[in-house]
Chains A and B, each alone.
Chain A
Amino acid sequence: MSRVPFHQRIQELRQARGLSLRQMAEELEQYGVKVSHNAIAKWEQQKMPGTTRLPSQEVIAALCKLFNVKPSFLVEEMFSNVRSKSDSDRIAKLLDVELLTEEEFTALLNVKDLFIKSRKEKAG
C-alpha cells in the first residue's frame, strides 16, 4: 500500500474540517504562522507524480497543532517503502470483500460512511 502523499493528506484534513483555503490560512495564523490561501492551494497541488511541495518545518508543526496529528503522519510519504504490517493486514482483510454479496458490500460501505461522517462532525 502506498503512503498518502502530503498534498492529498493536507487536502483531506482541510476538507474533513470543512475549511476553505482562506479559513485554513486564518486558523494557521492563530498558531503563529502566516501563509496565504494561495500557498495552501499550491501545497495541495502536485506538480509532477513523485514530487512533493512541502512547507517549512514551522508550518508543518503548526499544521500538526491545527489538525491534531503527528508530523510523521503528515510526511509519511517520505518514508518511501516503509509499510506497517497492520496496513498490510488491513489490505488483506479488505480483499475479502470480493466474497460479499452486492447488498452486503453496500451495507459495509454505509457503515464506513457513518464512521467518517461522525469523525467529521466531531472535528468540525
Chain B
Amino acid sequence: MNEIGSLTISKRASEFIRETVDQIYLNDNYHCCTTDKYEIWHVGTCCVGTCSEPCCADGERQGQIMTCHEFWTSKSLVSQHMRKNNFLKNLQRNGAAGCVMQIRKAHFLWAHGDRIYDKEIPNELADEIVAAATRDKTYSRSPVLGLYINEKMCAS
C-alpha cells in the first residue's frame, strides 16, 4: 500500500503513476496537438479517436464533447476547471506537475514545461487515485466536458 496524505492507495495505483511518468520521459508518446501555451501528448493506449475501443465507439461520443485542443485553448474552461486544482500552479512553480482530471473517465495528467501528457486511468484504480488527488488538491471534475482526440486534431 502507498499513502497520499492520510489516504492509502494500493501499490498498483502507485506503480501506475510511476510507470506512466517513466514512460513519458523514456518512450515515444503520441503528439496530439499544440496550443499557444502547451503541447498535448497522449500516453499508452490513447489514440486518434478512430479505433474500435469503447471510448471511440460512436455510442460513447455523445453529449458535450470536446477535444483536448479545444479545452486547452479555452482560457475560460481551463480557469473554470482548474479553480480547485493546483496542477497549473504547481507546474508554474516547479516546472513539472501531475494531476487527475475527470470528465467521462479519470485521466492522469503529467506536465513538464509546456508539454502536457494524458493517460486514462484504468477503471479499477480510478477511485483510489481520484480520492488521493482530491486530498492533494490536484483533482478536478466537470460533468459537461469530454476530452477527446479526433480528426480535428493536428497530429504530427
Which A residues contact B (CB, under 8 angstroms)?
Answer: 50-54, 56-57, 60-61, 64, 70-72, 75, 77-85, 88
Check B5 for interface membership: any CB of A closer than 8 A: yes
Chain B residues with CB under 8 Å of A60's CB are 25, 112
Chain B proximity of A55: nearest CB distance (Å): 9
Query: Is there an interface contact between B17 and A79, defined as CB atoms closer than 8 Å?
Result: yes
Contacts of A75 in B (CB 8 A): 21, 96
Q: Is the CB of A88 within 8 A of B98?
A: no
Choose from B97, B112, B132 the contact partner of A57 (Cβ within 8 Å). Answer: B112
A78 and B96 within 8 A (CB): yes
Which residues of A lie under 8 Å from residue B132 when comparing CB positions? Answer: 82
Contacts of B73 in A (CB 8 A): none
- B3:A56 contact, CB within 8 angstroms: no
Within 8 A of A (CB), among B81-110: 90, 93-98
**Known contacts A56-B113, A61-B25; A83/B96 CB under 8 A:** no
Q: Are B96 and A84 in contact (CB under 8 A)?
A: no
B24 touches A71 (CB 8 A): yes
Contact with A along B11-29 (1 / 0, CB 8 A): 0001001110110111000
Interfacial chain A residues near B19, Cβ < 8 Å: 72
In the complex with contacts A52-B95, A54-B95, A80-B25 CB distance below 8 A: no
By the criterion CB–CB under 8 Å, are B4 and A83 in contact? yes
A75 to B18: give the CA distance in the assembly, Å: 10
18 inter-chain pairs at a CB distance below 8 angstroms, sorted by A residue, are A50-B93, A51-B94, A52-B95, A54-B95, A54-B96, A54-B112, A57-B112, A57-B113, A64-B25, A72-B18, A77-B94, A79-B98, A80-B90, A81-B5, A82-B17, A82-B132, A84-B2, A85-B3
Which residues on the A side are within 8 Å of B22 (C-beta)?
Answer: 70-72
Total interface residues on B, CB under 8 Å, equals 29
B11 to chain A, nearest CB (A): 8
Set A51, A57, A85: member contacting B93, Cβ < 8 A: A51
Contact with A along B36-63 (1 / 0, CB 8 A): 0000000000000000000000000000
Query: B13: shortest Cβ distance to chain A, in Å?
Result: 10
Known contacts: A57-B112, A70-B18. The answer to whether A78 contacts B4 by CB under 8 A is: no
Closest residue of B by beta carbon distance from A1: B3
Whether the pair A88, B3 counts as a contact (CB closer than 8 A) is yes
Q: Bound complex: CA of A81 vs CA of B137, how far in Å? A: 10
Partner of B3, one of A54, A57, A77, A83: A83
